[in-house]
Every structure is written in C-alpha cells, then in structure tokens.
A and B are shown apart, each in its own frame.
Chain A
Amino acid sequence: MALSLDDWVGLDTTVGRIEGRIRELRRAVEQDGVPDLRTSVLTHLAWVPPAYEQAATDTLAGLAERHPSRAILLIPDPDAGSDGLDAEITLRCFSLPGLEAHVCSEVIELRLRGRRSIAPASIVAPLLIADLPVFLRWRGRPSFGEPWTEQLFELVDRLVVDTSEWLDLPGAYAELAAHFDGVAVSDLAWRRMLPWRAELAALWPGIASASRLSVVGPHADGLLLAGWLRSRLGRDIALDLDERSEVEAISVDGRAVSYPAEPPQTSSDQLSDHLDQFARDPVYEAAVRASQEEHVFDLET
C-alpha cells in the first residue's frame, strides 16, 4: 500500500530548487522511525496535456509499486498567460512485507507555463536518474517535428504511445515510422491486440492464404492488426472496419476468430508490460509501416 510521506509544492520555482528538495527528501529521517530504501529501476517521464491529467495520475498510482522509479509528469500549459515552472514533489513509499522498511521513490509533477513549455528537455535532463533507462509515455499524439518533441525523444530510451488516442490515422503512422531509427517505440494499442494476435496465430496454416480481415473495434487496433498480418504473411490483406471503442469481434475471410480468454488489462498493467521492454520491436515496426497500405471498406456506406 502506498503512503505519501512528504509533499512539497514550489510555485514559480527553478530546477535547482527542485533538485535541492529531492536531495533533502533523500536525506530525510522518517518520523515514524521506519527506514526508507530508495530503489529505482528507471525514470518514468510522462508528457501529459491537461486533458489527460487525471488518466495519467490514475495510471501512475497503479504502476509505481511494480516499477519503483522516479516519475516526472510534464504538464504543458503554453497558453497560461505567464511564463514559469510550478512543481509538486511527492515521496511515495510502499511497505515491504515482513520487513521494517519502506521502498520510496519520488513523483515530480512539473507544470510548464507559457514559454517554459518550449524546451522541456532542458528542464527534465537534470532530474533524470543517472545510468537508468528513461521511458517517456506521451499522452495524445506527439507533434512530430516540433523541436520540444524531438528534444525529448533524444533524451529517452523508449517512447510509449497509445495510437488509439490519435485522430489522424493512418497518416500519423508514417510520421511515427520515421522515428523508429531514433527511439524504440511501444504502443499500448499494439499490446491490447496481443491476445487477438495469439488467436490469429493459432489459425496457422489456414490463415496463410487470408485476404480479408474484419474488425469491429478501434481504428488503430484494426489498422495495426491488418498491418501485422500483411507484414507477417507477405500478402495484401483488405481491412473491413466497423469502428467501436473496444474490440468486439474479429473475423478472417468471414470466419469469426475466438474471443481471447485473457481478461482485459488495466492501463497500469499495459504500461507496466512496456516498461519491461528495452529493445526495438521489429514486428510492431513492420506492422506500423504496413498499416498504411490500408484498404478500409466502410461498413456504414
């Protein structure tokens, strides 16, 4: 169970003050006399436009216990009307079963007001834990090509997106694919389709000659699944898409695919899976590239 042992809020503050406060927290002797262990396996960055703030906080709460890490939430507010950096630092601690100790890590929430949001990498770089991998969860669609986006990509080892949050698919996949050589990419939409991919793989060898995939589900999920089949089977596969918020049914050449037995994962579980991966995922990258060769037959028309 998480305990928030300490909180610090700094309005219109500086990175230097934030670093100082983190050091103070590290040295702090716990009032309850229980020793704290600082353990981190990564730095978890999150780019969180205000519309995603609540969702990001909820995911983080379910994640921190599994991946003790310094979490840095970047909340851009370019239209704030003033320039400045506001910070909130929370020390989150978890008790260890059978041990008289807590495991603690910091959650740093940074609000980037006005012009402070145009160079976020320069704010974050001093706050990363040295030598540990850096994962960047980008909420919404990244503005590919913008300097602040590209600078953040250069800083991190892995970019985690959820392309089902993107509204301009499949076009945006081309922009994403152009970054594959620069940063390893994970896609939560791709992870959600894993049980379905396992079901489709079980149809081998019959599926080798498939020519049409029908998906009742999100746009991104359908595109990625079709792209995956095209790239793995090396053949053109048409996609019939009936858009819904969750995958409800999938069929291949008119034959329904069994609904996977695996229960749906929480957003924290999905992100947690990606935080265990470090290498590029060539199967995903090929699926993204092939998803752009889509043949969507709109069932509504």
Chain B
Amino acid sequence: MAVTEQNEQSENPLLEGLRLRRTPEPCALVIFGASGDLTRRKLFPALYALALRRLLPEQFAIVGVARSEETHEAFRDRMEEAVREFGRDAFQQDVWDSLAEGIRYVATDFADEEGEDCVDACLAELDEERGTRGNRVFYLAVPPAAIGTLIQELGERRGPDGWKRLVIEKPFGRDLATAQELNAKLAEFFTEDEIFRIDHYLGKETVQNMLALRFANGIFEPVWNRQFIDHVQITVGESIGIGSRAGFYEEAGAVRDVFQNHLLQLVALTAMEPPIDFTADSVRNEKLKVLKSLHTPGPKSVVRGQYGPGFVEGVEVTGYRDEEDVAPDSETDTFVAAKLYVDNWRWADTPFYVRTGKRLPRRETTISIQFQRAPHPPFEDIASEGLRPNVLVVHIQPDEGVSLEIGAKVPGQGMTIRSVHMDFLYGGAFRTGLPEAYERLILDAMLGDATLFTRTDEVEEQWALVDAIAAAWKRDRASFPNYAAGTPGPAAADELLARDSRSWRR
C-alpha cells in the first residue's frame, strides 16, 4: 500500500525526503448537473488528466446526476467522447477504462426526494464495491436557483460516515442578500472548511504565478506600491459572445459573470500584502483585507456597455439583443469598466482600472503594472520620444507569461531611446504542459485544501461592491448598444482613463 497523507509524518522517520505526491483519500465525486457543458468540456477532461497522472485515489468513483434520462453506459460513452475531444492529453484507452469502471449515472430532479434516495443508494453501493468509505465531494454545477434546494437535501442526508465536501460553481448568489442567504443555508449543515466556492481563475497556473512573481522575487516587492506604480490595468476580455448561455447571462451580465468574481480576485491578488504562509486562511485573510479596502466607485467611475453588431476576427456577428433568447430591449451589460481605489497605506491614490467584456477584439486576460516615468531622463526630448514608462505585464491567457517593457538605446549614432519588450514565456521555460485550472481545483477539493477557493467573507465583500455599482444603474436607463462587436468597448471606457491623462493598453 502506498503512503498517502499521513499525520504521523513527524514520527515516521522514513517519510523524510520522500516528496510524496499528495493523493486524496478514497472518495466518490458526485456531479450535480452532469448533463451540462461544464461536465463535458472541463470536469471529465480534468478527471481523466488526473487519472492519467495517477493523482486520483485507487478507490474512487464518479456519480453523474442530472434530469435527462440516460443509462450508465450511455453516460460513460458520452464522457469518453468528451475526454477524447477536450482532453489535453493523448487518449489512452486503458486509463479511461479504469476510470470508467467507477462511473455511474443517476437521472433525477434535484429537488426530488425519491431521486435523492437513488443517489444515496448508488453511493452506498459504491462504498461497498469501490471502497469509497462514505467520503464525498459533491460538485454543484447547477443553475443558481437549484443550489439552495440541493444544499438542504445534501445537508439533511449527510450521514455520519466519512467526510463531506461541497464544491459550488459561480455565481454564488446574485447579490449580497442572496449570497448571505446561501451562506446561512450552508452553515446549517456544513462547516466553512467543507465548502469550496470555485472561481476557476484561481486554479490557473499563471494566476498562481502572480504570487510567485511577487513573493519569490526580491526585486518587485520593494517597488510594488504607490510610490513607484502609476496605475494598474486589469483586462479580462473575451472575443466570443454568450453562446447558448442567454438564460444565465440575461440575469447576470458581465458585472456578475466576471467582474464580481474573476476581476475582483485578480485585483486582490495584485494588491494583497504578503501572507505569512501559503495556507488557505493566510492567503484568504490577505485577499479579504484588499476587498474590504476597495472604495466603492461612484457612477462616473464605472462604465457599462452592451455590444451591437460588428465584426470579430473578420466574421460578421450579431448584436447582443439579436442573440438567441435575449430580450430585444435587454439592458444587460456585456461590458464593464471601472476605476477602483484600494484605500490602504500601500495603494492610496493609485487607480486600478479594470475592464471585462464580451465580443472584444481578442481573448486576453492581463494584469498590467505601469510604473512611474523616470523622474529626469538626461536625454534630449526627441531622443526619448518613443520611450514609454516601464510596464510589467502578467499574461494570464493566452501566451501565459510575463513581459517587461524597458527603454533601450537604438543601435547607431547618437542617443535614441525606444521601448522594447523583454518576454518570459511560461511555456518556453517550463515545457511540461500547464494543467487545466479544473485539474488543480478538483484535486485540491478532494485533498481538502481550500487555498484557491473563495471564502464566505470574500464572496460577501465582492457582492457588496457589485450591489453598490448595480444600484446606481437602476436609477437610469442605459442607451444600449454602445459598442460594436470587435471593438475595445464603449467610448466612455476610453474617456474614463482619458480624464486621468491615461489610456488603456491596446
């Protein structure tokens, strides 16, 4: 039997230096909403990648739960197809077969008592057959409206054997009140360390690399403050539209889909103080301090937008209001930009310009740190007219890496300075394929490590800010659409920075 996590590490002298991989304890993963796109595109490819790397426990099972009628075999076949299509590794039949042996499917309505009985019976059988010991990870990939009922059902049936963990997909509520309601419901049955609110951005290697960049390098932290940084820009841009998500998106908009979670988490990671260690609470405590320090932006500091028809990558696309299942007079935002201030000693008066939108010219997530200009370049004005301030850009996706814009002399006579890019391409130095965010997060949930998940208080702080922004929007009617698909957003977003004599990175 291989050694897994052991508490007796300190007393077993043979464990020292073994550098054992963390392998979860035997458990069953129950996916509610198993017929959805997330399960097919992300969850099963991630589970297969974990199986291929032997990171799953030997005693492991997966139960898919959804309303659609389907047999175990049909579900397995569909998931095999999904792994072949969306997996990052070459498909190995033996690895899949071994994983598939523990896959079951239960067709039921989430709120149906009898259906829940079927899930329980299936899990009890798997405990017997696969040795999963009553340990469960419940993955709630269901519409927000179904989460409350599921929590109630799962909580009432949690049983005394084994540990139970809940992974909850975003959005967690639709405002502060509903998030608090959900948190209260969860607290009736589960402790905070059993709850894993997923924000898949935190599972991305390059987002974690932000922490490495800041806290593993002595050169950045001394200048990571208002004295040396002029401003920060964070962009989460998508070139795609809403696809088949109109039902969700009409309710959420960009502000709830991306701003409330991904964007604010990126702000927190950029602005946080160094944690004392890398444990879940230390990291989350520091992020929370940033979220609490965020000054609520006034209406003039927030821009919302909605795309109209246009061209993306040369292809003509419809406007948001013409998308399937979208109301023709929809006021849903597909773009949000804001100027945020982190009101603390480190960042006072340093603006964080953030933006997210759909149907922008390109898919791009970046954190850009623009430093102050050199105070007195000793060159003639004409020599340095091509010189821009130093900018450190963390590329989250695509082209994961870091680039630094620096001034360099143009070869030849005289002294002419130009800005050049020094690029560190993540995939160039570390040639092992980057794991998908869901691989890391599913594994962490099975291991009980909540460092990369969002805590109750973080979620509530994020919602408080979004509620304040959305409240202002209720007072006046937006004149949508206000930007063409394939352009960088509404003109007002440019004006937001132009008022400060700045501009967005292109």
Interface of A with B (CB < 8 Å)? 37, 39, 41, 65-68, 94, 96-99, 101, 103, 194-195, 197-202, 204-205, 207, 228-229, 232-234, 258, 260-262, 281-284
Contact = CB atoms under 8 A, between A and B. Distances in A.
A198 B18 contact: yes
A252 to B, nearest CB: 11
A261 B2 contact: yes
Contacts of A98: 398
Contact of A66 (B54, B58, B425, B432): B432
Given A99-B399, A199-B2, A202-B1, A94 B17 contact: no
B12 interface: yes
Interface string B389-416: 0000000001100000000000000000
B431 interface: yes
A283 B428 contact: no
Contact of A201 (B18, B58, B431): B18
Most buried by B among A204, A205, A258, A282: A204
B14 interface: yes
A93 B430 CA distance: 14
B429 A194 contact: no
Nearest to A38: B428
Nearest to A99: B399
A92 B436 CA distance: 28
Interface of B is mostly: loop
A104 to B, nearest CB: 10
B329 interface: no
8 contacts: A39-B428, A68-B429, A98-B398, A99-B399, A194-B19, A204-B12, A283-B16, A284-B17
A201 B14 contact: yes
B428 A198 contact: no
A262 B19 CA distance: 14
A65 B431 contact: yes
A37 B425 contact: yes
A67 B430 CA distance: 7
Given A201-B3, A204-B8, A260-B2, A39 B429 contact: yes
Contacts of A199: 1-2
B12 A68 contact: no
A202 B2 contact: yes
A15 B419 CA distance: 35
Contacts of B13: 232-234
Question: Which 8 pairs show the lowest CB-CB distances between chains A and B?
Answer: A283-B17, A201-B14, A39-B428, A204-B12, A232-B13, A103-B428, A202-B3, A65-B431
B431 A232 contact: no
B132 to A, nearest CB: 18
Interface in B277-324: none
B20 interface: yes
A233 B18 CA distance: 15
Given A96-B427, A103-B428, A201 B17 contact: no
Nearest to A234: B13
Contact of A282 (B15, B17, B18, B423): B17
A96 B425 CA distance: 10
Contacts of A37: 423, 425, 428
A197 B399 contact: no
Nearest to B398: A98
Contacts of A283: 16-17
Contacts of B54: 261-262
B435 to A, nearest CB: 14
B1 A258 contact: yes
Contacts of A260: 2
Given A37-B428, A66-B431, A281-B17, A198 B3 contact: yes
Contacts of A68: 428-429, 431
Given A197-B14, A232-B14, A103 B2 contact: no
Contacts of B12: 201, 204-205
Contact of A103 (B19, B58, B431): B431
A1 B298 CA distance: 53
A207 B14 contact: yes
Contacts of A282: 17
Interface in B1-53: 1-3, 8, 12-20
A256 to B, nearest CB: 13
A198 B2 contact: yes
A41 B2 contact: no
Nearest to A231: B13
Contacts of B430: 41
A94 B398 contact: no
Contacts of B427: 96-97, 99, 103
Given A198-B3, A261-B2, 16 more contacts: A37-B423, A66-B431, A96-B425, A96-B428, A98-B398, A99-B427, A194-B18, A194-B19, A198-B20, A202-B1, A202-B3, A204-B8, A205-B12, A232-B16, A260-B2, A282-B17
Nearest to B427: A96
A201 B429 CA distance: 34
Nearest to A283: B17
B431 A94 contact: yes
Contacts of B399: 99
Nearest to B425: A37
A127 B399 CA distance: 31
B471 to A, nearest CB: 42
Nearest to A39: B428
Contacts of B20: 198
Nearest to B17: A283
